[in-house]
Amino acid sequence: MISPVNPPIKHAGPFRLGVLLSGRGSNFLAIQEAIESGQLPNTLISVVISNHTEALGLQTAKEKQLPTAVFEKADYASRTALDEGIADCLKAHQVDLVVLAGYDRIISAPILAAFEQRILNIHPSLLPAYGGKGMVGLKVHQAVLVNGERESGCSVHLVTAQVDEGPILGQSRVPVLADDTPESLAARVLAQEHQLYPGVIRQYLQNHLNRKENQEAHDPVLQ
């Protein structure tokens, strides 16, 4: 795994995640459960944002009594205006790391600029294969099967302006079976996603803490 730049944490207390989701929210739930079980220590989800009022993941967040917010396309004049609203919301919740968990919109400049190197996404393929615009949902797994791949998996990467092209922080692999359908392959990959995403976030936080300790050891004035 590569080490992204040190995220500037400007507050005391746990590392704060801001989750963006559009649908089911099973990756969000896996992250929240990793926090609750102590597998993802010193971390909390400070806000869950969706672009769909009816997103199942948003309901789950409410049941977990997490702060939520909705930013629907219809309420904004442009993609930039919508993403400015989301960036402001993430900042208001003092988010350290933005976690895309099945978010179906492309992230534009206002969020990219405010959270440079601090946005993660999970994608259900072994990137750089089967990534990019339009490569979403079952289409990914259909393409893997059509091409006769023997292996697939999932990737967590940093988000940049190029869709699915940011540096890869972690991957998990699964076999493709002879009788797989897109649905059965998707389910096998999804089970891996739920392990991979909390693990990569934990590593990201650990990298941050290591760098902070190193900086303080070399520059005691900062302590």
Size of the site for ligand GRF (CB under 6 A): 15
- Sheet of strand 119-123: strand arrangement: 68-70, 43-50, 15-21, 97-100, 119-123, 151-158, 168-175
Query: Could you tell me which of 203, 213, 201 has the C-alpha nearest to residue 16?
Result: 201
Q: Which of 11, 123, 157, 218 is catalytic?
A: 123
Distance of CA 191 to the CA centre of its chain: 16
Decide whether 21 or 45 has the Cβ nearer to ligand GRF.
21
Contact call for residue 7 and ligand GRF (CB under 6 A): no
Q: Site mask, ligand GRF, residues 30-69, x = CB under 6 A? A: ---------------------------x------------
Which is nearer to ligand GRF, 27 or 32 (by Cβ)? Answer: 27
Q: In 37-118, which residue ranges form alpha helices assigned H by DSSP?
A: 56-63, 79-92, 109-114
**Does 102 interact with ligand GRF (rule: CB under 6 A)?**
yes
Q: Which listed residue (25, 131, 153, 166) binds ligand GRF by CB under 6 A? A: 25
> Which residue lies nearer to ligand GRF by CB, 166 or 208?
166
Does the annotation mark 123 as catalytic?
Answer: yes
**Which residues lie below 8 Å from residue 83, measured CB to CB, with a gap of 6+?**
107, 108, 109, 110, 111
- Contact flag: residue 198 with ligand GRF (CB under 6 A): no
Q: Are 117 and 35 in contact (CB under 8 A)?
A: no
Angstrom distance (rounded) from CA 68 to CA 51: 11
Which residues are paired to 174 by β-bridges?
152
Ranges within 117-136 binding ligand GRF (CB under 6 A): 122-124
As annotated, the active-site residues are 123
- Positions touching ligand GRF (CB under 6 A) are 21, 23-27, 57, 101-102, 122-124, 154, 190, 193
